[in-house]
Amino acid sequence: MNHQACIRTTLGAAAFVAVFCYFLEVLLHVPYIEYAYSFIAGVLLVASLPVMPALNRRIVYVLLAVGIALFWIYGVSWHIVWTSFGENLSLLALFLTVPLIGTYMSEAGHLHAFQQYLERRNEKKAVPPHQLGYGVTASIGAILNLGSMPLVYGIAKESFPSFEQKRMALTVLRGFGSCMLWSPYFVNMALILSIYDLSWSEVGPYGIIMAAVLTTLVIVFFRASAFADDTWTSPEKNKEARPPMTSMRTFLLFLGILLGASFLLEMLLPYNMLTIVSILALLYPWTWALALKQATSFAQSTWKHVSGSFERLYNEIGIFVTAGFFSVALRSSDAGAWLSEAVSFLSQGYMILLIAWVVAIVMGLSTLGIHPVIIVTGLGGALSPEVFGVEASFMAVLLLMSWMLGVQVSPFTGAILMSSHLMGTTTIQVIRKNAAFILSAAVVLSLVLFILGETIM
């Protein structure tokens, strides 16, 4: 192992050490340990800066500079400044641990069993590949997050005779967006619930309604999602099929227990969904691995994930740490109040104008390349529901919806970059092709949220 690889491995392991320190604080209330994980988060931020994309690096520098200035102007104590680097450790915990569920699902053969199920179903009765691609992404994507996009695309290539390559990737992108509106395993849901101190049950059902509306729009726009220069893929099946390691029934049991445990533990334990999901992501796969005597192989896969985590996620790590630092700076100053007053003035007390302005701000700044986590962290910390006369759950759904829309229009988010790779085209072309759908979604979802806000929220 060369020197650079050793440093990256050490940083990946350090990220998980920070996560374990965070769990010790949350579960056991170990004193002063927040200084330890905040220090590690600061080191990870510094290490991520040289390798971060140039635009993101400039934005991070600006936010750090503004944050430092606010801390200095308002005379904030040094320990608040120190621990501000660990403010978003809960998000890093989720982002680092949840992929272990997908790692085990792959290692145990669950995903292979699912693929074979789709192949058998397609042989018995032909299933439209694009519609199924959306449905699969919108379901298992809720757990596998961004990793569901290449996975579903790969399964489709091996399971269907042929399909339109670019249209499939665009459909999968939209399926990923629907997950963002309700999944407790996504960072956006975790952050927004923590900002407003809400449980998933207070927000998730409304997110499911919004996801159902988005799915209707996907159906409406399906014909318009065809590409003039699209290519039809050919199946890439191996001549010698690998025998299944597990069954579809076991796969469904694995997912059912995981989802059931997540919601049940949130009701029974004094912890939020973010903490519960992160800890489950660590313990649940190991429970299965030990029970089925797969611990050795899963341990190797786990170490591969841990050691390579910084190399894969340095951009997200840097952005999340910076967003936490900046949000503490805003809360420690009057800047948040100014922003809240500005949005209140623009909305003039009308709920529909509040929705329109928040959506426009998030989508506009996302288009310019600012990551939605930074935008939503700032807005969430500044926009108090009481000021606008709305419920916290309403504001949470508004930010969830805005974040989802922002991800679909930003050329620098992982979802757009992944879609660009799958399509074999540029990010700008992906966004341009998706523009009519997203603008329509922004209008329709805003109206649905307005109706929900005026009636049952």
Q: How far is residue 113's CA from residue 129's CA, in Å, rounded to a whole number?
A: 18
Position 365 in a domain: no
pLDDT of residue 245: 60
**Average pLDDT of the chain to the nearest whole number:** 86
For residue 62, pLDDT beyond 70: yes
* 356: exposed, middle or buried (Cβ count in 10 Å: 0-12, 13-18, 19+): middle
pLDDT of residue 360: 93
pLDDT of residue 239: 45
Please tell me the least confidently modeled range out of 6-15, 373-382, 385-394.
373-382
pLDDT of residue 244: 54
Q: Give the domain range for residue 131.
A: 98-293
pLDDT of residue 241: 52
Mean pLDDT of 292-317: 90
Over pLDDT 70: what percentage of the chain? 94
* Contact in structure between 362 and 402 (CB atoms under 8 Å): yes
For residue 406, pLDDT beyond 80: yes
Q: Which two tokens stand for residue 76?
A: 């904030």
Position 393 in a domain: no
Position 77 in a domain: no
pLDDT of residue 151: 74
Over pLDDT 90: what percentage of the chain? 34
Report CA torsion sign: 414, 94, 31, 12.
negative
pLDDT of residue 216: 94
Point out which residues pair with 164 in neighbouring strands. 232
Per-residue pLDDT reduced to its tens digit, 340-377: 888 888 888 889 999 999 999 999 988 887 888 888 88
For residue 457, pLDDT beyond 80: no
Mean pLDDT of 181-204: 88
Position 112 in a domain: yes
Number of structural domains the chain divides into: 1
Per-residue confidence band for 231, with pLDDT thresholds at 50, 70 and 90: confident
SS (H, E, C) the chain: CCHHHHHHHHHHHHHHHHHHHHHHHHHHCCCCHHHHHHHHHHHHHHHHCCCCCHHHHHHHHHHHHHHHHHHHHCCCCHHHHHHHCCCCHHHHHHHHHCHHHHHHHHHCCHHHHHHHHHHHHHHHCCCCHHHHHHHHHHHHHHHHHHHHHHHHHHHHHHHCCCCEHHHHHHHHHHHHHHHHCCCCCCHHHHHHHHHHCCCHHHHHHHHHHHHHHHHHHHHHCCHHHCCCCCCECCCCCCCCCCCCCCCHHHHHHHHHHHHHHHHHHHHHCCCCHHHHHHHHHHHHHHHHHHHCCCHHHHHHHHHHHHHCHHHHHHHHHHHHHHHHHHHHHHHCCCHHHHHHHHHHHHHCCCHHHHHHHHHHHHHHHHHCCCCHHHHHHHHHHHCCHHHHCCCHHHHHHHHHHHHHHHHHHCCCCHHHHHHHHHHCCCHHHHHHHHHHHHHHHHHHHHHHHHHHHHHCC
Per-residue confidence band for 47, with pLDDT thresholds at 50, 70 and 90: very high
For residue 322, pLDDT beyond 60: yes
Q: How far is residue 155's CA from residue 133's CA, in Å, rounded to a whole number?
A: 9
Of the candidates 439, 412, 456, which has an alpha carbon nearest to the alpha carbon of residue 356? 439
Long-range contacts of 253-257 (CB under 8 A, 24+ apart): 254/105, 254/108, 254/110, 254/288, 255/140, 255/143, 257/284
pLDDT of residue 119: 73
Per-residue pLDDT reduced to its tens digit, 252-298: 899 889 989 988 998 888 888 888 888 999 999 999 999 988 889 99
Per-residue pLDDT reduced to its tens digit, 214-228: 999 999 998 888 777
Mean pLDDT of 113-132: 74
Highest mean pLDDT among 324-328, 415-419, 446-450, 452-456: 446-450
For residue 402, pLDDT beyond 70: yes
Position 136 in a domain: yes
Per-residue pLDDT reduced to its tens digit, 238-255: 545 555 566 788 888 998
Position 167 in a domain: yes
For residue 304, pLDDT beyond 70: yes
Position 142 in a domain: yes
Of the candidates 130, 132, 131, 173, which has an alpha carbon nearest to the alpha carbon of residue 150? 173
Please tell me the least confidently modeled range out of 10-24, 100-114, 154-168, 322-336.
154-168
Position 215 in a domain: yes
Per-residue pLDDT reduced to its tens digit, 97-117: 888 888 888 888 887 788 777
pLDDT of residue 236: 54
